[in-house]
Amino acid sequence: MNIEQKIQSAVIAGLKALYQFEADEKNVQVLKTKKEFEGHYTIVVFPFLRASKKSPETTAQELGEYLKNNEKAVAEFNVIKGFLNLTIASDCWTEMLNDINADKDFGIKHASEDAPTVMIEYSSPNTNKPLHLGHVRNNLLGNALANVMAANGNKVIKTNIVNDRGIHICKSMLAWQKYGNGETPASSGKKGDHLIGDYYVAFDKHYKAEVAELMEKGMSKEEAEAASPLMKEAREMLVKWEAGDPEVRSLWKMMNEWVYEGFDETYKMMGVSFDKIYYESDTYLVGKEKVLEGLEKGLFFKKEDGSVWADLTNEGLDQKLLLRADGTSVYMTQDIGTAKLRFDDYPINKMIYVVGNEQNYHFQVLAILLDRLGFEWGKDLVHFSYGMVELPEGKMKSREGTVVDADDLMEKMIATAKEASSDRLAECTEEEATDIARIVGLGALKYFILKVDATKNMTFNPKESIDFNGNTGPFIQYTYARIRSILRKAAEAGITVPEKLDTGLELSLKEEGLIQMLSEFPSVIAQAGSDYNPSVIANYVYELVKEYNQFYHDFSILREENEELKKFRLMLSQNVGKVISTGMGLLGIEVPERM
């Protein structure tokens, strides 16, 4: 039982003894005392006034006296209006640190046999271009959320749906056929996804030139776009693909393989992975079957032109197209098909889709349709909706080739980290310096993105993210490396950190405050899971690091003359390091042993 639970139980007992009031746990809130007041925890007494029939001040005073006399954890108390501020005895904090120290997985809940299965879909790339900055935010959020859900005791399956079919894929294929001269990743030295992305841009360039030429001949923009021979060829290629044309399918397979090899390299560098990958080329037909089955059961209806629709007017929405008049599927159909395949493969209890906020309406509709079709988790599916990410220069467009490529961005971040920390890395070997630069550069990128509430639009500023001061990844990583250095020096001096501390030490408010912050880590992980919000962990770790750095500045550790106090401070440092490492690990961020 932690200190907060002890206090909560003592308050419930006190209310019964003083006022014969059976308090519910929900009504007994144990809050952290605000910095401007004295104490560690605060009890709000207003919910108990009906039972006490006394003023807030008197109720708080009586409850405070009861706690001081009956709960050894409470050393002192003070009352400010209807707020009872409690000071916890130093011995309790030492015991709390011993408990944290004994638990190597402090804060983490492991999945039991009967734990719920949570599937998380993220990444969802198109095979016509490399991953870009928007994908970086998606992948980092999906990966962090998967770690957080697992740390809350769920069985987690990480999944990806690859958009490997459609007109956009045909555009890259056609451009390669026309302008590629047989170029391959091997012959060009380019990653496969970059190579294909270049042909997607090339298609757009030639298409725009065609449209401009037709407009010069007197056509309107719409007429010119409709008459473009290049676009017509791309549409014809799509029809051939749908019909299973061997030549088109063979080209499609070859070019997709190039892309997947490129994606795998990017995912590896980013530190993200998947348990199962689905492909739209497999799921869209399953979706069509499921929609036609729903049509037979009267769940959907057909219009005169043969198109199939869902009527959602009873749910306050409109009618939603599921199959076009020519029988081809839309994104919604594909998502239904993917859901069917996943449900066949896994016993899913909850499904979380990590997709940008421009798709909010899509997932509102999908939840209703999946529920109608009988998927148990359909109604409660979670759309983990996130905002746009831009650079200080503004928006990006992949068709025009103005996108910030994920690979380039990661390489630049690593190079910048190497440059920014060249003085610090002077004593390292070249191999060590390269690895530390990778850890710091990618840590800066990941932390800068993950510290922001996912629902908000954000601007990624590479320069700001690599700063060694302020709310940044490198600042946190440097503090971790500092703690590891202190522990190495202690070991070299023959000082061992004890497994358990004796009580009886008089601790400073700063030391007690640090242990109190450490004790909050499990509830921070729980909140990040229940709110689907990894930024809660990022900002908690930053606050912990700030507090530790103030402690490090104000107190001696290795030079402390009192041996017991020295060992206490080493154990405190060790456990701050442990929580930093665990917290950053949940965000997918490595921490270096030295810096």
| pLDDT (tens digit per residue) in 265-321 | 999 999 999 999 999 999 999 999 999 999 999 999 999 999 999 999 999 999 999
My answer on whether 74 and 170 are in the same domain is no
342 within some domain:
no
Nearest to 128 by CA among 182, 180, 181, 199: 199
321 within some domain:
no
349 within some domain:
no
pLDDT greater than 70 at residue 33: yes
146 within some domain:
no
My answer on whether 179 and 36 are in the same domain is no
199-208, 257-266, 327-336, 532-541: least confident range? 327-336
Structural domain total, the chain: 3
Boundary of a domain, candidates 53, 88, 123: 88
205 within some domain:
yes
Q: What are phi and psi of 416, to 5 degrees?
A: -65, -40
pLDDT of residue 246: 97
| pLDDT (tens digit per residue) in 437-462 | 999 999 999 999 999 999 999 998 88
Burial class of residue 5, CB neighbours in 10 A (0-12, 13-18, 19+): exposed
pLDDT greater than 80 at residue 203: yes
Residue 550 structural domain: 411-586
| pLDDT (tens digit per residue) in 38-89 | 999 999 999 999 999 999 999 999 999 999 999 999 999 999 988 999 999 9
341 within some domain:
no
Q: What are phi and psi of 118, to 5 degrees?
A: -110, 125
- What CATH number did the domain enclosing 13 receive? 3.30.1360.70
395 confidence band (pLDDT: 50, 70, 90):
low
My answer on whether 34 and 180 are in the same domain is no
- Burial code (b: 16+ CB inside 10 Å, e: under 16) for 306-318 equals ebbbbebeeeeee
pLDDT of residue 399: 47
422-451: average pLDDT: 90
**Residue showing tokens 């490997």:** 164
500-516: average pLDDT: 93
Boundary of a domain, candidates 272, 294, 316: 272
Boundary of a domain, candidates 224, 250, 272: 272
Percent of the chain with pLDDT over 70: 98
My answer on whether 36 and 176 are in the same domain is no
| pLDDT (tens digit per residue) in 102-138 | 999 999 999 999 999 999 999 999 999 999 999 999 9
My answer on whether 30 and 171 are in the same domain is no
82 within some domain:
yes
What is the sign of the dihedral through the CA atoms of 398, 401, 406 and 409?
negative
pLDDT of residue 396: 46
pLDDT of residue 398: 45
pLDDT greater than 70 at residue 239: yes
Length of the chain counted residue by residue: 595
My answer on whether 83 and 195 are in the same domain is no
My answer on whether 432 and 539 are in the same domain is yes
